[in-house]
Structure 1
């Protein structure tokens, strides 16, 4: 594989770390900038909503430009945002830094996947895309817990300084290692052609399921540090190690979910979402037990991320005329779900319902997702006109295309 893929993966690692590491540091950040838990949760929601803007608006704005310079410019935006977060004196500069960094997120992954595929032969494109997205997986499995440890030991700002440094190294790697030929702008049918795919009801249903499925898990996960310390009784220093277990669960779920979705897409999504609902209910009921809370955390990561490849595959399947914009829209949908879950979890905490209430909220969102998925699957089965076969993608490729 070309060494330029390592630079792309490193950029993905830094971006994934920026999005998720704050969840393990939320109590420290809230205390330092003087806001409530719910207000601190908006640092996650604000990021997620800005990803939506970047995934759609920024990607559409730069499609005509050479991709290598665009990727470099996106990483500069990412570096500036994290630098602002690391030096923020209070809440609003911190929020501004999060939003600026988030604008680069969706566009980087969408354009970076195209560049990665352009660096290898046609028979190795899926592997190249998967290698780039291992950076995001590594951010969850290793980067988040160790970033949390760094933040707890040296202050949360140290973590954002480290992420800024990762961005600088990734930028240098892309400039030096990614060939310019791989960054040439591709031919598209234009924005109007891309938008035609959104006439499909199944595309919209798939996006709604993405929002609800991911939102349910993040409703529980956003405030997980409070649940583990205040309800389960774990010491704050234990949280990073528990997040490693969560990361291993999501890694396994993401891998196995992709294989299962390749065999039967809609049935896999229905089963996984239903089991995720059961796991969240069990977590809320048994969170006071450290053993059961740990098991629930691993299962929540596993079944939560087992939906990702299937959800991405489903949108691509029904958006044959515009897979690029549809893929970007689904990246945005994942982050809308992230914002929805964080917001609703914050509402329940502010209402005085306790630190298991975000888990209950997540279970409720997931249950609605199961219902919508069941409706979408039934409608697809009844439909006499299916998507064109060429719209379908192999599981290993769609597995890579997530946030």
Structure 2
């Protein structure tokens, strides 16, 4: 891996870890800030909305600034955000700084991918983007379970101090290794073309599927630690190992989903959505049994990330003639789904439903997504629609 790409990977790892590690320490954070666990779940939805809304706005507002300068500024914002979260005296303060960090997160990934593809020859651009995305995957394998373990041993505030140290390493790497870069302005008329392609049914149905996928994933995952403690009966020190298995499943899923997307995209997507709906039913049934629950979480994690690959590939395929806006909406769509999932999960728990009910809602969402995918593919086949040819502005 070229050293400049490693610098971008390290910052992506830091941002990914701080987004998802909250699930591993949620009960401790809730206790420390004197709120209920469901209410603490709004730290997840707030972060997701910060990415989805603030990230694109910040990216648009900084188009005239050197990309290297922006990457440095965003990484500094990450470090300051972790320090602020570690010192937060109450829930409102914690939420405010989580959202501020999330805005930097949302802007970072769009800019980092543009910088990454500019650092390598054209034949290696796909792999350069994969390096940035790998930061998110590795954060689930290493960052989240390690962060949860640190929180379990030394308190949840220590987790954020540890994340600060990772951010400082990423900042030093970006400062030393990323060359000076400039933003590129789009020609007039480009934005209107970008907006028009979002009206294609393949694009908006894929966004619906994306939202359903995130409900199926994040409604249970946001509250995975209390679920494993109270329903499955696992010791708190075993939970980081379960999160590690989930991360391993996510990595296997990324590899599987990419291959299936290149093979037969829509048939693979439809089958995986159906299987995932069934897996979430199994999730509900086996949740009191530790061994079966562990295996189910591994498979569930793999399918979550396997499904994400063809959904993103489909959006990019059908917006190839105007990809910029659609590409920026992909992380926004995922994070709007995460925000909705956290709010729905909190509402269910506060309404008296137990943690075990959470995968049931996910199963319903995935079943509906499977139906949407079937109807979309059938309509596409019936009218003989052909994906657009890529154009370069």
What's the TM-score, normalizing by structure 1?
0.93
The within-5 A match list for 1:314-329 is 314-329=314-329
> How far apart, in 2, do the equivalents of 1:280 and 1:366 lie?
9
Q: For residues 157-236 of structure 1, what are the structure 2 equivalents within 5 Å? A: 157-180=157-180, 183-189=181-187, 190-236=190-236
Alignment partners' CA distance in 1, 2:224 and 2:211 = 20
What CA distance in whole angstroms lies between the structure 1 residues aligned with 2:262 and 2:39?
40
1:179 aligned counterpart, secondary structure:
coil
* Match in the other structure for 1:269: 269
Q: Does the 8 Å contact 1:11/1:171 carry over to 2?
A: yes
Equivalence for 1:394: none
Task: Summarize the Cα distance change of 1:375–1:55 in structure 2 as closer, same or farther, 3 Å threshold.
Answer: farther
Say if 2:55 and 2:106, in contact at 8 Å, map to a contact too. Answer: yes
> Does residue 295 of the first structure (1) align with residue 295 of the second (2)?
yes
Structure 2 distance, partners of 1:217, 1:134, is 19
**Take 2:269 and 2:285, find their aligned partners in 1: how far apart are those partners?**
24
Shift of 1:389: 3.9
**Helix, strand or coil for the counterpart of 2:198?**
helix
Moved more, 290-299 or 131-140: 131-140
Matches within 5 A, 1:36-115: 36-115=36-115
Counterpart position of 2:128: 128
CA distance in 2, matches of 1:144, 1:335: 18
1:92, distance to aligned residue in structure 2 (A): 0.5
Counterpart contact for 1:341–1:362, Cα < 8 Å: no
1:342 matched residue in structure 2: 342
Match status 1:387 vs 2:379:
no
Q: Which moved more, 1:274-283 or 1:349-358?
A: 349-358
**Offset of residue 30 of structure 1:** 0.4
1:31 aligns with 2:31: yes
**Cα deviation per residue 1:340-370 (whole Å; 9 max; x = unaligned)?**
2222122211122211111112112222211
1:220–1:360 Cα contact (<8 Å) kept: no
Deviation string 1:149-195 (CA, Å, 9 cap, x unpaired) is 00111111111111122112212211210111xx2223424433432
Structure 2 residues not aligned, in runs of 5+: none
Q: Could you list the runs of 4 or more consecutive aligned residues of structure 1 that deviate by over 4 angstroms after TM superposition?
A: none
Aligned to 1:153: 153
Distance verdict in 2 for CA 1:64–1:377, change over 3 Å: farther
Q: Measured at CA, do residues 63 and 201 of structure 1 come closer, stay the same or move farther in structure 2, by a change above 3 Å?
A: farther
Given that 1:55 and 1:328 are in contact with CA atoms closer than 8 Å, whether structure 2 keeps it comes out as no
Q: Which residue of 1 aligns with 2:4?
A: 4
Aligned to 2:330: 330
Tell me by how many angstroms 1:321 deviates: 3.0
Q: Deviations over 1:67-120 (max 9, x none)?
A: 111211222222222221111011001001110010012221111011011111
SS of structure 2 residue aligned to 1:356: helix
Which stretch of the first structure deviates more once superposed, 49-58 or 113-122? 49-58
Decide whether the 8 Å contact of 2:21 with 2:143 is kept in 1. Answer: yes
Partner of 1:400 in structure 2? none
CA distance in 2, matches of 1:372, 1:354: 29
Structure 2 equivalent of residue 259 of structure 1: 259
Q: Is the 8 A contact 1:55 1:329 kept in 2?
A: no
In the aligned structure 1, how far is the partner of 2:323 from the partner of 2:63?
Answer: 14
Distance 1:286 1:357 in 2: 12
TM-superposed CA distance for 1:222, in Å, is 1.0
Q: Distance in 2 between matches of 1:383 and 1:250?
A: 35
Q: How large is the Cα RMSD of the aligned pairs?
A: 1.4
8 Å contact from structure 2 (residues 63, 185) kept in 1? no
Following the alignment from structure 1 to structure 2, what is the Cα–Cα distance between the partners of residues 145 and 291?
19
Cα distance in structure 1, aligned partners of 2:361 and 2:345:
6
Structure 2 SS opposite 1:199 = coil
TM-score by length of 2: 0.95
Does 2:146 match 1:142? no
Q: Secondary structure at the match of 2:111?
A: helix
Alignment check: 8 A CA contact 1:85 1:160 kept: yes
